[in-house]
Amino acid sequence: MRRILFIITQAELGGAQRWVYDVAVNLKDKYEVTVAAGDTGPLLQNLKSHNIRTFCFKHLKRNINPIHDFLGILEIYRFIKNENPDALQLCSAKAGFISSIAGRMAGVKEVIYRIGGWSFNDPRPQWQNLIFLWLERLTSPLKNKIIVNSQKGYDEALKYKICSRKKLFLLYNGIQINNQAPKTNDQNNITIGAIANFYKTKGVEYLVRAANILQNPNLEFFVIGDGPERKNIEFLIDKFHLNNFHLLGQQENPWKILQEKNVNLFVIPSLKEGMPYVLLEAMTKNLPIIAAKVGGIPEIIESGKNGLLIKKGNPQELASAIETLIGNQTLREALAKKALQDIQKFQLSDMISKYISIIES
């Protein structure tokens, strides 16, 4: 049986981790699968319940650190030599950089890299993003195949000369879809929801700023997630005296919580994305969606048809979009209905089949 070793930087709950989980669980009967990460977060815990082997690296960290990175390469090299996998599946930028080096040092013949959204698009100083772009270019020759999950990501790989078209593959995310539409909540009272890890890239602060612009005490905002930006977000909520803006933390079943809160409008205020799972999930929930026009989102959402698109980092435009939907129940229902139809194109089974075709090509 062919052996595949998945390596991802963090084992938190997020889009990259969701992809690893779905693929690993659906491949475990066809391949011998092991998943390794830089911490013992919920991804590894959830995989263990499916009898998938997991491992935690001590020196695989999200932030660049020359000492940890050097030790991480050695640590991953030793692990790969011991495991002797037929293929490495690298997910997320940092794991892609140092694990591709370790993999080639260990003699792995097949190194596959999957990236959701290019790290050089993150909201940080340009010189730092140039370093990440340089690292992508530098390590690209060490990778046999590079998978992106949006046409935008595909085009950027060619534009910035990260790799040739020959080794580049476009694989849209897919989810398990329940064809029975959820019951529609009370459409007369608008309750707004979001699900995001609290990184700057997720733009939660712009949803807070939009709530402050609206100053509508009849609106309720519920955000599920957590992360390093939490203190900054809490500071803004307190600064603007937003008693109607609630941070619910990480939740095992976020959609169940949002349904209990009667959320009937969903927002994705991100500054950077690939093809977010949370968008695909929201489309199955019979919800009108407002999303920032970033990454692969415009490849899924056609503004005014199955959702509304706004400029990234623009709380005024986000507030205006929320006001538009507050005052137009017909539009809300039409957007939600069309989104529910369009999500049928993104089936998990199709994604798994296409992934198998890629790794076996």
Q: What is the pLDDT of residue 308?
A: 98
3-state secondary structure 117-135: CCHHHCCCCHHHHHHHHHH
Q: How many CB atoms lie within 10 A of CB 243?
A: 9
Taking residues 221-236, what's their average pLDDT?
A: 97
- Which 3 state secondary structure label does DSSP give 290? strand
Nearest to 241 by CA among 277, 275, 266, 217: 217
Taking residues 314-335, what's their average pLDDT?
A: 96
The predicted-structure confidence for 2-20, as pLDDT tens digits, reads as follows: 999 999 999 998 899 999 9
Task: Check if the beta carbon of residue 49 is closer than 8 Å to that of residue 252.
Answer: no
Q: What is the pLDDT of residue 323?
A: 96
CATH number, domain 3-174+347-360: 3.40.50.2000
Return mean pLDDT, the chain.
Answer: 95
Angstrom distance (rounded) from CA 340 to CA 334: 10
Q: How confident is the model at residue 64 (pLDDT cuts 50, 70, 90)?
A: confident
Q: How confident is the model at residue 186 (pLDDT cuts 50, 70, 90)?
A: low
What are the start and end residues of each CATH 3.40.50.2000 domain in the chain?
3-174+347-360, 191-345
Angstrom distance (rounded) from CA 31 to CA 352: 13
Q: What is the pLDDT of residue 187?
A: 59
Is the pLDDT reported for residue 252 higher than 90? no
Nearest to 172 by CA among 336, 360, 31, 351: 351
Angstrom distance (rounded) from CA 144 to CA 159: 19
Q: How confident is the model at residue 148 (pLDDT cuts 50, 70, 90)?
A: very high
For 139, the token pair is 């390590």
Q: What is the pLDDT of residue 262?
A: 94
CATH number, domain 191-345: 3.40.50.2000
Name the residue with higher pLDDT: 179 or 84: 84
Q: What is the pLDDT of residue 153?
A: 96
Q: What is the pLDDT of residue 189?
A: 78
Q: How confident is the model at residue 184 (pLDDT cuts 50, 70, 90)?
A: low
Taking residues 329-339, what's their average pLDDT?
A: 96
- Which 3 state secondary structure label does DSSP give 17? helix
Give the CA radius of gyration of the chain. Answer: 21
Is the pLDDT reported for residue 179 higher than 80? no
10 Å CB burial of residue 94 (0-12, 13-18, 19+) is: buried
Q: What is the pLDDT of residue 200?
A: 95
Task: Check if the beta carbon of residue 164 is closer than 8 Å to that of residue 147.
Answer: no
Q: What is the pLDDT of residue 188?
A: 66
Q: What is the pLDDT of residue 62?
A: 86
Nearest to 89 by CA among 357, 355, 354: 355
The predicted-structure confidence for 213-226, as pLDDT tens digits, reads as follows: 999 989 999 999 99
